[in-house]
């Protein structure tokens, strides 16, 4: 482990140095204070919300933040982006790639795991040029979460409460200082010209290990089924009545997919100019929860109910992506539960399916006994 130590007072200097060479994005307070009322809860006090945005100065950076409204995926996969422009002039096509050198500062470990899953999705087969161009030019500075960021978070269950093996630069709060773990050449490059940094001593390593060990007890397990059991649990629950019950609740608004750090479904739209000889092609976010998402030519809809669409989302998160990439498609950040207007929470859904399986298994044993 290559551990460096930086005084917290040097953070301002560091951000200023980075801003001279990179576009620096980090968590900062959303300007307006909002009041979000979960379904059936009228006592929720107003609270500040946080977003990932371009920093205009070190004073905007908030490293002790609960969670952001939208995850850092919006940097790599913008809500709307121009893919290319075209002209009927020798079939001219101008590809639009965003290759700005960027640093995303202060990413929680769950979001770092999510970015690595997106890397898998967009690099498979014919790699997505636009995503990969942004990713290649971005360095990620993650930060250790020392306590859960939300009551809806279940990152410990999903194994994302600790950093993955692949990372650029990782911060751990030691009190008056940060421990910095260097994981890549890009991460090491961010420390150039930083004057107050020093190599960790034995005492620093001891403090670091104490901090990491202490966080274990602060993070509860929230799921009643083990992570390794989730694909098989979903496999036997396809016709469960739970989906119909949730379908009656669900509004089909797609908020859960918008705030999800690993959802990447999109639509492609052409905007043709009035001269009919030129235009632009855009990519825009889409959602598997929208009514027309699975409609095909001829009018057939493969998922023509909210229950079917919601079930598909859970299968994609907890089974299909595990089958495809060996990684769960959910990182347990809890954003979808925070944002859902009708209080649908993955923790509740998974636990309900698990209890039903246990109940059925118990009845079978009684019959066989």
The pLDDT, as a whole number, for residue 88 is 87
Q: Which of 261, 250, 263 minimizes the C-alpha distance to 316? A: 263
DSSP state of 3: E
Stretches in the chain below the pLDDT threshold 50 = 367
Angle at 308 between CA 304 and CA 311, to 5 degrees: 155
193 sits in the region (left: phi over 0; alpha: psi -120 to 50; else beta) called left
Contact 288, 313 (CB under 8 A): yes
The pLDDT, as a whole number, for residue 34 is 53
Other beta carbons within 10 Å of 4: 18
pTM: 0.92
Q: Which of 259, 266, 263, 260 minimizes the C-alpha distance to 283? A: 266
Contact 157, 227 (CB under 8 A): yes
The pLDDT, as a whole number, for residue 38 is 55
49 sits in the region (left: phi over 0; alpha: psi -120 to 50; else beta) called beta
The pLDDT, as a whole number, for residue 330 is 97
The pLDDT, as a whole number, for residue 333 is 98
The pLDDT, as a whole number, for residue 202 is 96
DSSP state of 44: P
The pLDDT, as a whole number, for residue 295 is 87
The pLDDT, as a whole number, for residue 362 is 59
């Amino acid at each position: 482990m290559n551990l460096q130590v930086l005084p917290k007072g040097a953070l301002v200097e560091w951000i200023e140095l980075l801003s001279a060479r990179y576009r620096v994005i980090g968590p900062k307070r959303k300007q307006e204070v909002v009041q979000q009322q979960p379904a059936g809860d009228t006592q929720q006090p107003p609270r500040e919300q946080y977003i990932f945005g371009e920093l205009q100065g070190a004073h905007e950076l908030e490293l002790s933040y609960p969670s952001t409204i939208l995850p850092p995926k919006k940097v790599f996969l913008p809500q709307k982006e121009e893919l290319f422009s075209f002209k009927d002039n020798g079939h001219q096509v101008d590809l639009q790639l965003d290759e700005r050198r960027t640093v995303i500062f202060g990413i929680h470990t769950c979001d770092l795991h999510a970015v690595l899953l997106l890397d898998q999705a967009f690099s498979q087969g014919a790699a997505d040029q636009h995503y990969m161009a942004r990713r290649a030019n971005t360095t990620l500075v993650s930060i250790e979460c020392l306590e859960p960021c939300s009551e809806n978070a279940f990152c410990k269950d999903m194994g994302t409460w600790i950093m993955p093996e692949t990372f650029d630069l990782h911060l751990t709060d030691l009190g008056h200082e940060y421990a910095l773990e260097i994981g890549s050449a890009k991460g090491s490059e961010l420390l150039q010209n930083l004057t107050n940094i020093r190599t960790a001593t034995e005492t620093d390593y001891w403090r670091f290990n104490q901090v990491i060990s202490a966080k274990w007890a602060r993070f509860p397990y929230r799921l009643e089924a083990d992570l390794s059991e989730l694909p098989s649990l979903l496999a036997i629950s396809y016709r469960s009545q739970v989906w119909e019950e949730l379908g009656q609740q669900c509004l089909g608004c797609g908020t859960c997919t918008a705030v999800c750090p690993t959802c990447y479904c999109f639509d492609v739209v052409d905007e043709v100019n009035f001269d009919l000889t030129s235009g632009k092609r855009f990519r825009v976010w889409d959602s598997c929860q929208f009514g027309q998402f699975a409609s095909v030519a001829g009018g057939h809809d493969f998922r023509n109910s909210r229950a079917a669409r919601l079930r598909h989302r859970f299968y994609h998160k907890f089974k299909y992506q595990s089958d495809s990439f060996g990684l769960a498609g959910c990182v347990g950040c809890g954003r979808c539960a925070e944002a859902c207007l009708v209080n649908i929470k993955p923790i509740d859904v998974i636990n309900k399916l698990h209890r039903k399986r246990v109940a059925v298994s118990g009845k079978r044993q009684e019959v066989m006994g």
